[in-house]
Structure 1
Amino acid sequence: MWLDIQSTTVDQCIVGKTDSSENNYIFMGLYGGGQYYVGIRAPSYNYGASTSGYHFITFVVEKIDASNSLVTVFVDQSIKWQQIINETLGSSITGNQWSLGQDWDAGPTKSDFFKGVLDEVSFYNRALNANEIRYLYNLQPMLSTIESPTVVSDVVTLTLTTAESSQLTFIARSSDQTILSDSQINLNASGSNEILVNTTGSTPMNLTLTMTPVSNMYGRVLIICSVSGTTGITETSNFPVIVSPPGPGMALEFDGTDDYIDLGSVSGSDPLGLSGSELTISFWLKPELTGNTYQRIIDKSTADNGQNGYGCSINTSGQVEFYTNDDTRLFTSTGVIQPNTWQHIAITGDGTMYTCYVNGIAVPATYPYAYDYPAAATANAKIGAASISSRNLNGQLD
């Protein structure tokens, strides 16, 4: 239990249980000038001065034989005292209910009231060991997770929750200092990637994280957020970030009207034919999501829907579609890609199923037709348009 001890000079019961005549079965408190006291039936022992303020107190009673119990009192995860008491609880301790903060006493008047605050009181039907008590004392602060990858220009919000009011150190670090350095991570508008935060017990605290990219650097980094207190216990929450240059860089820009790249005639045996049973298509995309409803990323076919080949397109609802041999093999949910934002798209085929990944995360999709890999046929190929019709891409591709 956690105690906020507000007096160390008066006798105080913390927890106890008596029989129907109000004789103690077990009794724990502060007695003899604020010393930690445990009594089992008649025998008792007290030792160790208490101090005011919040403390984590654990009373452990372990039966060692038919007549004796080993009692250990822990204060803030350290042993305050350990003593053999010549008595056991036994299997029958029926009588009055457990009492917190007062001594039942035989007679009409109760006494020895605890002065302070009790919190997180727990009972266990076995003797906890020292490691378990250390774990209870050091209950970790909780950092919320970031559900999906973000891009470097986003403002990331997460929450920190602690069981008790605490002062903690919050640090965010980048996994790759060459792409995004720690100095470019800003916590709570402090200008630093490391801050002190003061929490209120059980109340989520909002934290914000912003990042400034390095010019002409791009890639994927992991942001490692950690929070630690005076006990040294650390909680972490990690999330990936897509880092893109602040501008088109070397990307190709398509106007949605007549821009495309003509790759010419591609045979089925050409690596670009993708006629094996497994394949991957990967690209960076910053779409407008306006213009033609169905806009080709790449297309190698002799007709619509990837006939005699394959095709990959996006639509203005933010969906990704992949075709082979005149049928749609994969069609994602709406909104998996966002307008005017750099994002990484990958289509993979493993011989049994096609999967679409956006920023490294597999997105929901339907499969209108069974798995089929591209035919080993010769067909024209284009980037940014369909091979036999317009379907022009409106956006940037890299």
Structure 2
Amino acid sequence: MNTVFLDKPNPHFRGLNQSILLGLFLFLVSSYVFAGALNLAWDPSTSTGVAGYKLYYGQASKNYTSSVDVGNTTSYQMTGLTAGSTYFFALKAYNAAKSIESSFSNEASATISATTTLTADFTASQSSTSSTIESFTSTVTGIPSGTVPSYAWNFGDNTTSTASNPTKTYAAAGTYTVNLNVTAGTTSAAKSKAITVTLAAAPPVANFSASPTSTTVGVSVSFADTSTGSITSRSWNFGDGTTSSLQNPTHAYSAVGTYTVSLTATGSGGSNTKTSAITVSATPSVTNTNTGLVAAYGFEEASGTTVVDASGNGNNGVMTNAVRVAPGKFGNALQFNGTNALVKINDSASLKLTTGMTLEAWVMPSAINNLWKDVIEKGDDNYFLMATSNRSSVPVGGGTFGEINGTSALPVNTWTHLAVTYDGVTQRLFVNGAQVSSIARTGNIATSTGPLQIGGDSIYGQYFNGYIDEVRVYNRALAQTEIAADKDRAIGAVTSKVLMGDTKVESFANYKTQGVALAHQVVPTISGSPTQVSVYLDSSLTTATSIKVGVYTDRVDSSNIHHAGTLLAQGTLGTLKAGWNSVPISPLSTPFTVTAGKPYWLAILTTAGQFGYRYNSVSGTGLLEKSSSNRLTNLPTTWTGSTSGYITNATMSIYGMGN
């Protein structure tokens, strides 16, 4: 407050009424309240008869150009003054009739402040989204002269500061309400704002696992992305010129070598790459010579219901309601639903075990219970391997000669390697390559014509719920070291080979419309189990979007003319391309083999559009025959040919592959 006291003025009423006498009269100027305003106060007159006061003022000393009757009060707020100007003030007292005024009081003066309102504001700036540092800059106006402002910040996260322009590091990104309070003298001002602190996401950390890391040509490697952080896309490079954007891809290598696999994980914060090596060796020759292996299943088929025996014994199977999945323990595995899924392999001489055996498999149960659940079952318990049993849920292996129990139940959702052996003297059970129990047994293994079944059986309905991979059946008891080696070795994919047909692109082109099937007689050069049919589609004549293919027996009529006979296997391909198209096929009932030197027929049909094919009717060695019906929707179970569509000395660009 700016206060001026005037010394002993002597105002007297003169000439009008000498009985009214003003006493000691003091005049002062008090604090500014806002721009253009001033508070004035004075001591009351000690004279009698004073009824009020009149305030005179102007911008020159003793030269008062204006006045205001303030009434009988001792203070007054003068407004409308010009900011930055100096004013001079004096006071007179008057009587009740306002007929007599005293002389002027002492004079007081004051310069009007341009502003007297305190205001506070601030700005916030983040230097970089790589950190959560915020810089605050305050702006304060209207600070009364002679005062020093103080600052009180609250940053919205229970932290404070008294600096005028503080710097704050937030613990995390987010929106915060920041409050600033400024005090100057007896006045204060406040400002509140919501600020947003952003933080750019850190790049993800790429990582992955591979199973197996050492493999053979043609065996799928399963890759599992274990990257952390925020990921928007993935880019795999398998080191052999192929790539993938899947999260968990599988890949089979076609040549021996060491390949550097890289996974690049990309997110909003950037990219990160992880690399790892995969070693690929030559596919080993898998036979039953000396090893005693009579059946082996890695489940590496790309599609179809055929399960191919990798032992070389031709014990192929057909799966029902089982599903191929990846990753398995090595490459693919089969998933069994616990209700009706199984793989059935017809009986054969090699599957009739008598004096010894080893049964192996990798299993991952989805549930464990106190019931018998098949992993491997031959006939009516000729020999078997169970994942669970009614004996405290432990795994059990055995046959007609007796059984052996495990020591504890298998873990759920975890891969476990099981093996049971019998050598005519001792029966042993192995878990993850280690022997867990043994018992003395004697006697031969009974044989039957019943099928070998995996994941369930059609006699007792003991369906397994979970995943099975790498099934092996031996006709002898393996040593513990051999079982441990099998545990860590993939069976591998079975390399397909051309069994029958024409692999050349012939020079002539023709087409067949929808509903008309065309069959070509072929003679296998080697025996084997067909798993796919490849057909060449002419780009200029093909409008079909899908095709059906099949394998037929050969039928000879009474005139000694050959025709397609009974359908053995078939398949459908829903995505076509110009050139060669490979169609996986599945047997109609049981796995079949074709015999070298014996004729068969390969057929093709489309039900929408037309298919263009390549052929040679000049120097071919086979036969071509179209169907008698032109309204087929599926390949007929028994072929009926058209006499008008029969061509001799013909070859068509179609062939069958298998094992």
TM-score of the alignment, normalized to the shorter chain, above 0.5: no
Classify the TM-score, shorter chain. Answer: 0.3 to 0.5
Structure with higher RCO (Cα < 8 A, 6+ apart): 1
TM-score (norm 1): 0.34
Which of the pair has more CA radius of gyration?
2
